[in-house]
Amino acid sequence: MIHISDSEHTINRRIHNLYSREIAEIVVNDVIDLIFKYKQRIDYKPYHLSEKDVILISYGDQVNRDHEASLQTLNIFMEEHLQAVINSLHILPFYPSSSDSGFSVVNYSAVDPHMGSWREIYLISLKYRLMVDGVINHISQFSDWFKAFLGGDKYFKDFFIEIDPSVDLSQVIRPRDTPLLSEFVDDDGKIHNIWTTFSKDQVDLNYKNHRVLRNVLDALFYYIEKGAVMIRLDAIAFVWKEIGTECVHLPQTHELIQLIREVLHEVAPEVIIITETNVPHDENISYFGSGDDEAQMVYNFALPPLLVHSILNENTQALTTWAQSLTLPSDKVCFFNFTASHDGIGLRAVKGILSDEEIEHLVLTTQEHGGLVSFRSDETGQSSPYELNCSYIDALSHPDDESALRFKRMLLSQATALVMPGVPGIYFHSLVGTGNYQDGVKHTGNNRAINREKFHVDWLENELSVQGSLTKRMFDSYKRLISIRISEPAFNPYGGFRFFDLDKGLFAMQKEDLEGKEHILVLHNFSNERLTCKVPDEIALPLSDLLSQFELKETREVTLEAYQMMWLK
């Protein structure tokens, strides 16, 4: 047996927790072979997150130019406009895919030729810290893996989960209203009922088959070889299934994530695992594990709907109360703070934080603003709202509202995500203040397309050149906020933080650097009127606002205009 490291015992233990003794020995040898293989190919240098880390979330074909690979176009656009403020890039699934804007992966180890090749990915990784998606809960029905399964290839037997439709699956938690089982016909005409958590085109993988784990680990190592320093585990809460359970957040799921981390760290120490689990907040943060063995970053799913709720109601009480409850299991983990994403604004995370009436208000307002709502079957079998499908700027204000109001509300929401404890993630559309893309929904029939519009780069460049336009104001103002944030050690994602309840219209917090020497008091006015508050006595004066020329030398009273922000140092 090849010696791999002192953590070999931990890897062995986790494997034996998941598999029978006989199978576990095979898995151990597979894992050791993979580690040895990639140690010869990867020279990984550990990197620790700091205040300088800001992650742009973008499709590989978000910006396009005629006769040019879209990944190359994205790289050029970022070099010309964003390289000074953005140091990390999450490229949404750029693999060949059959649906769901990349999340029905056909081939884990290829790049969609319409976007470019691995060369474009490599060139991007030279300039930016790269996050890639591990879409490992499911794979496309058109993948070679599933085709081989239907073709009777013995290697792929039990790669997927076949269930007799008469089996009682009523306990399974459903994230969608689509059928849990989908019918497929094999090459001999036999019908197979296969587990499909999200859609018929997203066939769940069966991790009880050790070959699935081996092939998935191979793919994740390959991404690291190609430049990834962050691996986003998509929909990972549903990855392990046990009949008779809810099939979400199972102990085996956490064990599997911990195993993946241990194995990847053998080759790439401190490569960051980030879990995407759009579930109630308390369940979501369970993926931090002990703070030293599972995800290093967790999506802060409660933040996007809470910000919308707070701005629409000009009341931060729910946001502040929730923020005051935030805790982390160690100083080695942090939140991934975002507002918009390629998906909608998830509502499950605020279950128990907002009342049913407050959530219904979000639903009705979204619809009034031209947005859509997606539903799921809840634990009682009733249909309930799952996510708001709306561009973030249109969720915050009606498309017919004055441009000045739309701009202020949107910038306020983004500034709040920038200062929250953790690392900010910025969806490309938020950066330029994109509104609802109704044509996308009409063309695809997919509610989420409303916030997935792609741009010809010439059109975007023209929009960014129009003085006074919402697009240019948003882009320039956002970049300025980022440039200030990345210059302040107090915004280190692992630094201390505390939140104050100063006024129902005000969001107030203090951030400090790792040594507790530098502090910034954040005051954000969430109301459409002037507010005056008193700086807490424990905060020393004088203070100077990083966003304006304002200074606080003697008096503790501060007045903020409607939607004004202050970062007082």
Cα gap 124→69, rounded to integer Å: 13
Specify the pLDDT at position 379: 62
- Place 380 in a pLDDT band, splitting at 50, 70 and 90: low
Query: Is the pLDDT at 77 greater than 50, yes or no?
Result: yes
**pTM strictly above 0.75:** yes
**Cβ neighbours for 92, distance < 8 A, ≥ 6 positions apart:** 57, 58, 59, 60, 101, 102, 133, 342
pLDDT tens figures, 59-73: 999 999 999 999 999
Query: Is the pLDDT at 3 greater than 60, yes or no?
Result: no
> Closest Cα partner for 562 from 402, 375, 333?
402
pLDDT tens figures, 402-452: 999 999 999 999 999 999 999 999 999 999 999 999 999 999 999 999 999
Which residue, of 441, 457, 489, is where some domain finishes? 489
* Shared-domain flag, residues 379 and 409: yes
Using CA of residue 524, residue 527, residue 528, residue 530, what is the dihedral sign? Answer: negative
CB-hemisphere CA count at 13 Å for 32? 16
Specify the pLDDT at position 549: 86
* Shared-domain flag, residues 386 and 533: no
* Shared-domain flag, residues 552 and 470: no
Using CA of residue 296, residue 301, residue 302, residue 306, what is the dihedral sign? Answer: positive
Q: What is the CATH number of the domain that holds 121?
A: 3.20.20.80
Domain count, the chain: 2
* Shared-domain flag, residues 308 and 429: yes
Residue 77 within any structural domain of the chain: yes
Cα gap 554→68, rounded to integer Å: 58
Report whether 478 contacts 87 (CB < 8 A).
no
Residue 206 within any structural domain of the chain: no
Which residue, of 489, 523, 542, is where some domain finishes? 489
Specify the pLDDT at position 5: 57
Query: Is the pLDDT at 1 greater than 50, yes or no?
Result: no
Q: What is the mean pLDDT of residues 327-337?
A: 97
Specify the pLDDT at position 175: 87
Cα gap 49→272, rounded to integer Å: 9
Query: Is the pLDDT at 6 greater than 80, yes or no?
Result: no
Q: What is the CATH number of the domain that holds 531?
A: 2.60.40.1180
Specify the pLDDT at position 177: 82
pLDDT tens figures, 476-533: 999 999 999 999 999 999 999 999 999 999 999 999 999 999 999 999 999 999 999 9
Over pLDDT 70: what percentage of the chain?
A: 98
* Shared-domain flag, residues 416 and 372: yes
What's the chain's average pLDDT?
96
> Closest Cα partner for 106 from 149, 138, 152?
138
Tokens linked to 290:
């002990």
Query: Is the pLDDT at 57 greater than 90, yes or no?
Result: yes
Q: What is the mean pLDDT of residues 274-288?
A: 96
Which residue, of 456, 489, 522, is where some domain finishes? 489
* Given 112, 133, 201, 234, the catalytic residue: 234
Q: What is the mean pLDDT of residues 143-148?
A: 98
Cα gap 371→213, rounded to integer Å: 39
* Shared-domain flag, residues 505 and 558: yes
Q: Residue 91's beta-bridge partner residues?
A: 58
pLDDT tens figures, 115-142: 999 999 999 999 999 999 999 999 999 9
Q: Domain of 534?
A: 497-568
- Place 2 in a pLDDT band, splitting at 50, 70 and 90: very low
* Shared-domain flag, residues 543 and 402: no
pLDDT tens figures, 30-49: 999 999 999 999 998 888 99
Clarify whether 234 is annotated catalytic. yes
Residue 174 within any structural domain of the chain: no
Specify the pLDDT at position 378: 65
